[in-house]
Amino acid sequence: MNGKRTPLVLGVLVSGSGTNLQAILDAIREGRLDAKVGVVISNVAGAKALDRARSAEAATLVIDHKSHASREAFDHAVVEALRSHGVSCVVLAGFMRLVTPVLLDAFPHRVVNIHPSLLPAFPGIHAQADAIRYGSRVSGCTVHLVDTGVDTGPILAQVAVPVLDDDDEAKLRERILAKEHELLPTVLKWIAEDRVEVVSRSEGMRPRVRIKLDAVTSPDDAA
Ligand code: GRF
């Protein structure tokens, strides 16, 4: 634990099974990630992710996108909920909604997504099937900062996973998911340690993320 840094408070947005949320909760419980889940918000009332959050005694909230007139109105409700729970970093963990500048501007460079391909290959919701259909020999997962595009924001980290001859979508999804569960808490740890920096570059070059190598530690940590 670091005595000086304000602990990272995560707001995790989910729509489904929540295995990545579980990986975050496990990492926190096991002391691998110095953060707190401030709130888990689902746009789907029956999402299994909500049960996982409740089991870990994390606050939960359902905000149904269908009861909001626009994506922006929905995001306003989400931002209000995130703020009221003291959230400093937002994680899209299987959240099946496009987000708008309403959310992105409220948490600049602090909205993170996990995607089951090596971006920029195979953005969108059928990434694993698309990799198999294409005949890729390698796919994987990407954790990136979110911008207004679909799976286009600055890349934080990637892990490659081979595509095997007898892979179907389900098999590849499972093998990629196992890597997602390692990668996402690792990247959140970098953010918690304030080691992530977004670097603007010359025209025609997209912003790049730099991960500062030296962990910021206080003298207390060495003890
Ligand atoms: C993961 O494959 C993630 O990369 C994608 O949606 C899936 C969510 O799975 N964005 P889970 O809900 O975390 O189990």
Give the pLDDT means over successive 10-residue stretches in the chain (223 positions): 75 98 98 98 98 98 96 98 98 97 98 98 98 98 96 97 97 98 98 96 94 66 47
pLDDT of residue 5: 75
Going from the Cα of 203 to the center of ligand 1, the distance in angstroms, rounded, reads 33
Q: Which one, of 130, 144, 134, lies nearest residue 173 by Cα?
A: 130
Closest C-alpha residue for ligand 1 atom 5: 94
pLDDT of residue 2: 47
Strands 89-92, 8-14: parallel, antiparallel or unpaired by DSSP? parallel
pLDDT of residue 6: 82
Give the separation between CA 196 and CA 187, rounded to whole angstroms. 9
For the whole prediction, is pTM greater than 0.85?
yes
Cα angle 29-31-37, degrees, rounded to a multiple of 5: 50
pLDDT of residue 166: 96
Would you say the CB of residue 123 lies under 6 angstroms from ligand 1? no
| Catalytic center residues | 115
- The dihedrals phi and psi of 162, each to the nearest 5 degrees, come to -70, 145
Identity of residue 100? T
Strands 138-145, 111-115: parallel, antiparallel or unpaired by DSSP? antiparallel
Going from the Cα of 222 to the center of ligand 1, the distance in angstroms, rounded, reads 36
